[in-house]
Amino acid sequence: MKLVVAVDENWGIGKDGDQMVYLSQDLKHFKSLTMGHPLVLGRKTMATFPGGKPLKGRRNLILSRNPDFAPEGAEVYHDLESLLAAAPEDACVIGGASVYHALADKCDTAYVTKLHASWPADCWFPNLDQKPEWELVEESEVMEEKGVSFHFATYKHK
């Protein structure tokens, strides 16, 4: 599986149930990485999608402990074991924080949008630069949008 995430300078990923900033170049990059691949995510992450509905063109596998949660167009799993049994190798783990933390060790690649700014955050992604089991293998040029500079980084799990 692959991890896809946007982080600020402190590896913060969100506050109050939403990401720090939405950049069209990052959204296009996200779509190019995930289109046609199954997505693994939590219920709160799906709530941030347009209309709170599953993303089109991708199988949406939702991890939720809520037994009443049954969104149309998505598959809901109530525990990690059943989700892992259903998730194919090409699945993209897209958040939120608890899903990233639960599945990071099961992933072989992390696609990280590194935002060159920081915001108040209440959830974080593990700092892969400080994890010896992860190796930075590729970085894009620096881009800028809405006054925020950023770049794309790819890490491989050793």
Distance CA 96, CA 6 (A): 11
Query: Distance of CA 132 to CAs 17, 95, 110, 126, 127, Å?
Result: 29, 22, 14, 12, 10
pLDDT tens figures, 47-97: 989 999 999 999 999 999 998 999 999 999 999 999 999 999 999 999 999
CA-based nearest residue to 128, from 148, 144, 114 = 114
The pLDDT confidence band at residue 101, using thresholds 50, 70 and 90, is very high
CA atoms within 13 A on the CB side of 130: 5
pLDDT value, residue 109:
98
Mean residue pLDDT of the chain comes to: 96
pLDDT value, residue 119:
96
The pLDDT confidence band at residue 15, using thresholds 50, 70 and 90, is very high
